[in-house]
Amino acid sequence: MEKIFDPITVPIILIDEDTKVRMINKVFANFLGYEKEEILGKKVQEVDRNSRFPYVFQTKKAEIAWKHKFENGHTAIVHRIPVLDEKDKVSYGFGMILFEDMKEFMHIIEKNKLLETELDHYKKRLKELSGAKYSWENIIGNNGKMSKIKNIGKKVAMTNSNVLILGESGTGKELYAHSIHNDSSRHLAPFVKVNCAAIPADLLESELFGYEEGAFTGAKKGGKIGKFELANGGSIFLDEIGDMPLNMQSKLLRVLQEREIEKVGSNKTKKIDVRVIAATNHDLKELVEEGKFREDLYYRLNVMTIEIPPLRERCDDIDDLSSLLLKKISKQLGKYVNNISPKTMEYLKMHSWPGNVRELENVLERAVNLTDCDTIQPSYLPEYLMENKKSKSSGPIKSMKDIIEEAEKNAITSVLKYTNGNKLKTAKLLNISRSSLYDKIERYSIKV
Ligand SMILES: Nc1ncnc2c1ncn2[C@@H]1O[C@H](COP(=O)(O)OP(=O)(O)OP(=O)(O)O)[C@@H](O)[C@H]1O
């Protein structure tokens, strides 16, 4: 035992069940102001009256990194560990000094604090670089349906399953995708967004999976890393998944099943660990029925589903949402506008909000810019919002197709008015392509 204890440069001590010192190394004995031989066999309390070992033997609980003032006046940081036998009886105690003086200890603490601050800073930077900007606190609305959906989102974030976020354009699907990633165990890894509708069909495969050098004419030297590989360890947000071409859907399905990708022009596969968060404003089930979306992919993605209802279906949220958005917008614009008059609120609640929260945000931003007092009056609302109130009436029951067409027509008409007939802005606000907007304008004979 002596041979083991003495070469150790950290002060250590071994005590038997009667608190007698069985072994102590030279450094510890010298620290106490004794020679080793003077201490061995003595009760620990005789060597240091302040010893807590008798107490530790009673509680049977280790005291780790405790500050201890020795009888000789030294203060140190120590461990006191009771060792129990199979019958849960104390068989011996082990003690050691971690820091022989408090200055050394305080120095380590300070250094640790500094490191923690630095670590926080780099964690924040990493999060920013990871691509996910928003978290739950950016999703306004803690009442009614919104709080329920947020709670579902938080539960979903804890799992590792694929997520499907459904909801009309402007309902906050992207906010949810970011927040789920940021609240998941993957939050320090990348969050990569791909808008499946914005990438031409023939480029989507190489965009998602990358390509090898020389894979096709015009391919970059050295090839290209795909979004899936970039998201490895993190999450990939496949926005507008409903617009993904069928041939790509089969390839995506393979990736989800096999958890491996194959670059364009390569015959090698690479294992990847990516969580898919997909979103769409289409009715995916309907697309499946129409043969435009693969059923097997639908079920693969539809493991955890979050459905965000359109704003018109959660009128109760409009009050809360408007006040909180108003606060945010006033702060951003540096204006003090914190009230919405009851009449204005009435108009806001009557509107059908085809552009959902995005439209509400725009309406409020416009009003904050126009108003010169602290309250938003109806006169600061766009014309089309007041007209909607007059035209709201219930009629005979219509087919789903007619209802959807009518809603589309109303949405396009409203937003066109709101943008003063600007088609590019309208298409953007409604999140549809320009060509699709032109088609619908023609189909519904909308006067621009
Ligand atoms: N609950 C909410 N709280 C705060 N802002 C919201 C909320 N929901 C939506 N928004 C705002 O509305 C706008 C649209 O949100 P987002 O882009 O997440 O919607 P989306 O459903 O992904 O739309 P799209 O389908 O058109 O891509 C953003 O400016 C976002 O900040």
pLDDT per residue, tens digit, the chain (448 aa), is 778 888 888 999 999 999 999 999 999 999 999 999 999 999 999 999 999 999 999 999 999 989 999 998 999 999 999 999 999 999 999 999 988 877 888 888 888 888 988 888 887 777 666 778 899 988 987 767 788 899 999 999 999 999 999 999 999 999 999 999 999 999 989 999 999 988 888 889 999 999 988 777 777 788 899 999 999 999 999 999 999 999 999 999 999 999 999 999 888 899 999 999 999 999 899 999 999 999 999 999 988 999 998 988 887 788 888 998 999 999 888 888 989 999 999 999 888 888 999 999 999 999 999 998 889 999 999 988 877 554 444 445 566 777 788 888 888 988 888 888 888 888 888 888 888 899 899 888 888 7
CATH number at residue 161: 3.40.50.300
Contacts of residue 316, Cβ cutoff 8 Å, sequence gap at least 6: 143, 144, 145
- Residue 89 Cα, ligand 1 centroid: separation in angstroms? 62
Residue 295's pLDDT is 95
- Residue 172 Cα, ligand 1 centroid: separation in angstroms? 3
∠ Cα 165 168 172 (to 5°): 60
CATH number at residue 387: 1.10.8.60
- Residue 15 Cα, ligand 1 centroid: separation in angstroms? 66
**Ligand 1, pocket-test mutation among 150, 280, 358, 431, most atoms within 8 A of CB:** 358
For residue 146, the ligand 1 atom closest to its alpha carbon is 1
Residue 64's pLDDT is 93
Q: Distance between CA 184 and CA 374 in Å, rounded?
A: 40
Residue 431's pLDDT is 82
- Residue 218 Cα, ligand 1 centroid: separation in angstroms? 37
- Residues 154 and 299 reside in one and the same domain: yes
Q: Distance between CA 229 and CA 260 in Å, rounded?
A: 10
Domain limits at 411? 393-448
**Which of residues 261, 280, 308 is at a domain's end?**
308
The closest residue, in CA terms, to atom 8 on ligand 1 is: 172
- Residue 424 Cα, ligand 1 centroid: separation in angstroms? 19
For residue 325, the ligand 1 atom closest to its alpha carbon is 4
- Residue 169 Cα, ligand 1 centroid: separation in angstroms? 8
Report ipTM (2 d.p.): 0.98
108 inside domain: no
How far from chain centre, in Å, is Cα 296?
A: 28
∠ Cα 178 183 184 (to 5°): 100
116 inside domain: no
**Ligand 1, pocket-test mutation among 169, 174, 359, most atoms within 8 A of CB:** 174
- Residues 160 and 285 reside in one and the same domain: yes
- Residues 81 and 94 reside in one and the same domain: yes
For residue 308, the ligand 1 atom closest to its alpha carbon is 21
The closest residue, in CA terms, to atom 14 on ligand 1 is: 170
- Residues 333 and 398 reside in one and the same domain: no
- Residues 156 and 301 reside in one and the same domain: yes
Residue 428's pLDDT is 86
- Residues 272 and 151 reside in one and the same domain: yes
Is 194:157 a contact under the CB 8 Å cutoff?
A: no
CATH number at residue 409: 1.10.10.60
432 inside domain: yes
Residue 311 DSSP one-character state: G
347 inside domain: yes
- Residues 283 and 157 reside in one and the same domain: yes
- Residues 289 and 156 reside in one and the same domain: yes
Residue 397's pLDDT is 56
What pTM, to 2 d.p., does this model score?
Answer: 0.64
> Of the candidates 173, 263, 255, 170, which has an alpha carbon nearest to the alpha carbon of residue 210?
263
221 inside domain: yes
For residue 281, the ligand 1 atom closest to its alpha carbon is 25
Task: Please report, for residues 278, 328, 336, 368, 430, the alpha-carbon distance to residue 371 in angstroms, rounded to integers and kept in the order given.
Answer: 39, 16, 10, 5, 26
- Residues 321 and 302 reside in one and the same domain: no
- Residues 78 and 152 reside in one and the same domain: no
- Residues 297 and 170 reside in one and the same domain: yes
Residue 243 DSSP one-character state: G
Q: Distance between CA 77 and CA 180 in Å, rounded?
A: 43
For residue 175, the ligand 1 atom closest to its alpha carbon is 18
Work out how many domains the chain is built from and give that number: 4
Task: Please report, for residues 2, 43, 58, 139, the alpha-carbon distance to residue 19 in angstroms, rounded to integers and kept in the order given.
Answer: 19, 5, 11, 60
Give me 428's structure tokens. Answer: 């953007």
430 inside domain: yes
CATH number at residue 44: 3.30.450.20
- Residue 107 Cα, ligand 1 centroid: separation in angstroms? 48
Is 261:270 a contact under the CB 8 Å cutoff?
A: yes
12 inside domain: yes
**Which of residues 308, 331, 347 is at a domain's end?**
308
**Which of residues 76, 100, 124 is at a domain's end?**
100
- Residues 47 and 192 reside in one and the same domain: no
**Ligand 1, pocket-test mutation among 175, 195, 426, most atoms within 8 A of CB:** 175
Is 229:212 a contact under the CB 8 Å cutoff?
A: no
Residue 389's pLDDT is 54
126 inside domain: no
- Give ligand 1 pocket residues (Cβ under 6 A): 139-141, 167, 169-175, 281, 357-358, 361, 431
